[in-house]
Structure 1
Amino acid sequence: MLVSRSPARSHMPRIGRAAAVLCAAALLVFLMVCDLVTGPSGMPLAKVVGGLAAGPGGADRTVATILWSIRMPQTLTGALVGGCLGLGGLMMQTILANPLASSYTLGFSAAAGFGAALAILFGAALPIAIWVQIPLAAFLSTLTACAMVYAIARFRGAAPETLVLAGIAVLFFFQSLQSLLQFMAAPEVLQQIVFWLFGSLLKASWTSVQVIAAILLLSLPLILRDAWNLTSLRLGDANAASLGLDIEALRRRGFVLVALLTAAAVSFTGTIGFVGLIAPHVGRALVGEDHRFALPIAGLFGAIILVAASVIGKLISPGAVIPVGIITAIAGIPMLMAVILGQGRRA
């Protein structure tokens, strides 16, 4: 098993780490503005700025509709989803002591994808709004995946490497269930499921913004409360236990919170890979292992990666925007290889 040994940058002043977080936030705001400016409608910058200044009730209804009903929800959804994936990825890598762990690589995203696909396929038979069904089904499926991983680990001994192997088994299990649903689906439903599994922001709405934002805001206090415990866990299980940390309870809480964040991210945009894997490494490279700073910057860089992918997708193909899941997968492969090679050199 590969274990990250990057030392905490205790020599970096706290003000320097805070400045890194603020710079990441400024970069995110810049990219969000770029995302609002780019798009298939080809509006000039002056019209975009004027539409933003006028607000949703601006005199130019075409500009107001494009900006406030289409582009703004997509941009905000991208930032929120990236933040959820970045935070979830850092927590997974910490509680499993593995730099290659994330909700995507360990099957949580696949489980959420299965739950959402199940809602798309059978949801019409239930008297519940589809925008409620999909996130609820995604969360329940992700929670099931967490329970499966933890049950396997408890049976074999809850060592981090056992959790990783259990997660890989769960990944293949839920991917096979996704394939079964695609085989069973009618052609028109199959098209919805396949497009959804690409990972796209095109169907984002103010509903998705509100639901994801609510889940993220509810999760953040619980995550930040464990910031110091997660930092202690980076010292190793034995050292963390010697400090009085209940490691198993921390892992259980972490799994549930990652399930919640993954369900929030996946339920409206589909499966998006590599964001939760890469963002934590960028964050730790900048601020070290202190999770009081690593958690915010991992969330910010998750948002940065996803919003940047949205901008790139629009620039490459303005007429038919490339789904962000495809962009992050292509860009994530060389980043993943860099992580693997970096771990090999440290080993």
Structure 2
Amino acid sequence: MGRSRTVRRSRPAGDFADPGAAFPGFPHGRHVHDLPSVEPCGRRGRKVSVAPRHAGGDPLASTAPVLQAYDRLVRRRVAITISIAFLAVGMLFADMTTGPAGLSIVDVWKALTHAPGQDSTSVIVWQVRLPTALMALLVGTALSLAGAEMQTILDNPLASPFTLGVSAAASLGAALVIVLGIGLPFLPPGVLLTANAFVFAFGSVLLLQFMTGRSGGGPAMLVLFGIALVFTFQALLALVQFVASADALQQLVFWGMGSLARANWSTVSLLAAAVASVLPFSLAASWRLTALRLGEERARSYGIDVGRFRFVALLRISLLAATAVAFTGTIGFVGLVGPHIARLLIGEDHRFLLPASALTGAVMMSAASVASKSLVPGLLLPVGIVTSLVGLPVFFALLTRQSRRS
């Protein structure tokens, strides 16, 4: 005996919005979720209950848990950012108390709370320790903030401010001054090295933008042109080193290691002005950076001109990186590792990621400055060596993590 087959007639979507149009006797204007609880008999005598869903309730009631979870997430991110800021202040004082003079935190605090005097403690704190400590904070802030933006606009987690040849160009500009005496005219000798390094670093990014704009390429083409510029500048730098004298070569090698020894109030003021002028624009672009993190097509659907936005972001990045490199030399891995640490703590919301990245870089540079003065007693190591030694294991860990995700 064959089984009877039930044929269901498909109904328009409107029938389910108003069941009275499909079922005679059902009052018009009522919905299925307005039905009272009933207990019809199912198969084998089991009862099935049908309960009303949010009948007459607040339609926003179901979104309350989501809003509460988001509020908790925002408070957590704010708390983490404030904690990193307090840690940066603590590292600032630790940097000022570290050194051959053996100053305590009380001595440093007394010197800071009084006007600069002629005693040895006041001179050490105001003329040596404080400019160096502030320079470490500012360099870390500039490089890590630039790295966070670079990784977003290039959609490359291994990008850093030096990916596009900023460091190599600055090294070439410094080498021309140290070895050949070629620099910008009408500048005093005291600022010629820094100015030449800055002009070459900033000019390399403008050249890169021009080449990428002519080719009409995207982030991948930008990275390829940047790698080509890196090899070009390194080849020219090797040529200058080949013809350099022994003294000039030693000075050039020491400059390339990265050091905070050239910090003074003039360089600190210039770098602070560069960071203060760029930071508000970076924070104002945070939501566009977050949208770009979702992909170029999604960002365009939000009304963002991706090409123009990437160009302006690269100008900010080049200004930060070029200024930092011009004053301290090449300091690697801070712009690469700092944003990743902040991203692990904060997430991808750039409203919090950018300030957290800047503060994380400041903490890293201050810690590297402390380590450079305390690893070898009586010897001040170049801070670029310390950041490379610390950053290499973290860099390999990031590579391993990226390969596992792939």
TM-score (norm 1): 0.91
Q: 1:245 aligns with which of 294, 301, 304?
A: 304
Q: Is the 8 A contact 1:275 1:306 kept in 2?
A: yes
1:288-309 CA distances to partner (integer Å, 9 max, x unpaired)? Answer: 1111111111111111111100
1:287-343 CA-partner distances (Å, limit 9, x unpaired): 111111111111111111111001111111231111110001111111111111111
| CA distance 1:33–1:89, change in 2 (3 Å) | same
SS in 1 for 2:278: helix
Matched, 1:300 2:359: yes
**Greater RCO, 1 or 2 (C-alpha within 8 Å, sep 6+):** 1
Q: Equivalent of 1:69, from 127, 130, 133? A: 127
Q: Secondary structure at the match of 2:116?
A: coil
The alpha-carbon deviation at position 126 of structure 1 amounts to 4.2
Question: Could you say which residue in structure 1 is the equivalent of 2:80?
Answer: 20
Matched, 1:112 2:164: no
Equivalent position of 2:26 in the other structure: none
Identity %: 42
The change in CA–CA distance for 1:41 and 1:318 in structure 2 (over 3 A counts) is farther
Partner AA of 1:118 in structure 2: L
Cα distance, 1:170 vs structure 2: 1.5
Of 241, 250, 256, which aligns to 2:315? 256
Contact between 2:169 and 2:201, CA under 8 Å: does it hold in 1? yes
Structure 1 residue 171: deviation in Å?
Answer: 1.6
Residue pairs, 1:1-347, within 5 angstroms:
13-57=73-117, 61-121=119-179, 122=181, 126-347=185-406
Structure with greater helix share of residues: 1
- The answer to whether the 8 A contact 2:163-2:223 is kept is no
State whether residues 123 and 133 of structure 1, in contact with CA within 8 Å, keep that contact through their aligned partners in structure 2. Answer: no
Question: Could you tell me which amino acid in structure 2 is paired with residue 201 of structure 1?
Answer: L
Contact 1:112 1:266 in 2 (8 A): yes
* TM-score under structure 2 length normalisation: 0.78
CA offset digits 1:35-55 (Å, max 9, x no partner): 100112233444334333334
Distance 2:71 2:237 in 1: 47
CA gap 1:195/1:19 in 2 versus in 1, 3 angstroms = same
CA deviation string 1:154-193 (max 9, x = no partner):
4544222221222222122222222223233333333222
- Cα shift readout 1:21-76 (whole Å, capped 9, x = no counterpart): 1111101111111110011223344433433333422x6x1111111111111100
- Tell me the distance in 1 between the aligned counterparts of 2:190 and 2:357: 28
- Gapped regions of structure 2 (runs ≥ 5): 1-68
Secondary structure in structure 2 of the residue aligned to 1:13: helix
d(CA) in 1 for partners of 2:83, 2:370: 19
Contact 1:119 1:130 in 2 (8 A): no
CA RMSD of aligned residues (A): 2.1
The one-letter code sitting in structure 2 at the alignment partner of 1:83 is T
Count of aligned pairs between the two proteins: 337
Q: Aligned letter for 2:327? A: F
Q: Is the 8 A contact 1:74 1:201 kept in 2?
A: yes
Q: Distance in 1 between matches of 2:148 and 2:182?
A: 33
Q: Which amino acid aligns with 2:207?
A: M
CA distance in structure 1 between the partners assigned to 2:229 and 2:296 by the alignment: 24
Relative to structure 1, is the Cα distance of residues 247 and 301 closer, same or farther in structure 2, using a 3 angstrom cutoff? same
C-alpha distance in 1, partners of 2:311/2:162?
18
